[in-house]
Structure formats: structure tokens, C-alpha cells
Amino acid sequence: MEKGFVPEVTTELRQDIIKVPEVIKQASGIRIFGKKIRSIIFTTDIAIICNCNAEAVIAVYPFTPHPAIMKGVIEAADIPVFSGVGGGLTQGERSVYMSLFAEAQGSIGVVLNAPTPVTTVSAVSDVVAIPVISTVTSIYTEIDEKLEAGVQIINISAGKDTAATVRHFRERYPDLPIIATGGPKDEDILETIEAGANAITYTPPTNGELFRRKMESYRLKEKE
């Protein structure tokens, strides 16, 4: 057998999965509790979570964090989950309670939004035994006090400026674990990795888009 050959095993009913871009394998990864994570799928869609090859899930969404959503995602996932626990509109005690719940359900880390005050970061860090992750939206995001308060990983989501933002913070913090959005193209993902990102979040096609493709293939078969 050729050295480096990796056998691939699947079944007929599970072959149609969402695969993250291969280029993400060039990232160094972040080792959390012994698990090396390079690819992180950005979704709360349980069907997608159950049918992807990502190494972890980041379950953050633009609503108030709710235990039912968190529980549903964690129970469905067979890979580690980073759970959003607020920090914008939701702060203080609720973020603390959500963080405790996330840990109890099995989350590998909790994610706080960029506007999270340092007091909330500190309160969350004091009660959980899993990594606290802070979202960064630009080079102007202040993180020094948050790192001192207990943040262990930053999650950079700066749109078209993501690679530049990663580079900015990597120069300031050579050893800080950095997760970052990679964008839709391989070259964008590679640029973000080369800028210093250790792990990449990947936004999959929507359920509607996947269903559209599936229905088109069914129609083509019917014409044959």
C-alpha cells in the first residue's frame, strides 16, 4: 500500500455529504482537550451538521441564545460544538447561565459576541472549564482586557478584511489560537491561513440551495 494513502469508507445512503474545502487541511489546527480542529462548519441546521465532514460546529445565530437550540445541536452532532452564548443584547447572568448549560450539555467551547463587556467575559470565564472564545470583527476590536479576563481563542469574522485582520492580530499575539472565516474561494481561505489563522469556519450552502440541486438532478433523471 502506498505510504500516505488514506482509505475512504462510506455507504450508498451517506455518500451525499457536504465536504469542507480541501485547502483547509493546510491550517495548523487548534488542539482542544486532545482533539485537533481545523475545519469548523458554521450552521445550526441539524440536517447539515449530521451530513458533513467538518471537524467541529460553530453554532452561533442572530437571536437570543436559547437552551433548546443549544441542546438540539449538541445532541445531533457527532463532532465537537462551539456554542454561542450571547454577549451583545444578551449579557451578564444570562450569558453565564447559557455557558454553564453549554458545558453541561457537552460543548467544547463557548463563543461570546464582539460587543461583550469585560465583566461578562470575566464572569463566564470564572464558571466554565471549557475555552471562552471572543468574536473579533475588525482590527479595531479591543481584546487585551478580554484576554486578561479569560478569553483563550479569538474568532475573527471581518468580511472582506478577514485576512488582514488575522494578520494584524497574529503579529500582536504570535501564539494566540485564531479561528477565522475563510470565504467562498480556495484562494481566500489559503490567504487567511497564511495570514495566521489556525482553524477556518466554513459556511455551507443553505438547505434550500441543496434541495434545489437535488430536485434538478431528479428532473434530469426523469428525462432520461
In tens, the pLDDT along 51-110 reads 999 999 999 998 989 999 999 999 999 999 999 998 776 778 899 999 999 999 999 999
For the ranges 115-119, 128-132, 168-172, 218-222, which has the lowest average pLDDT?
A: 218-222
Q: What is the reported pTM?
A: 0.91
Nearest to 85 by CA among 124, 50, 52, 122: 124
Closest CA to 162 of 133, 131, 196: 196
For helices 92-105 and 67-76, the axis angle rounded to 10 degrees is 20
Residue 25 corresponds to which amino acid? K
* Model confidence pLDDT, tens digit, residues 17-32: 899 999 999 999 999 9
- pLDDT tens digits, residue range 114-132? 889 999 999 999 999 999 9
Domain spanning 17-223, CATH architecture: Alpha-Beta Barrel (3.20)
92: left (phi over 0), alpha (psi -120 to 50) or beta: left
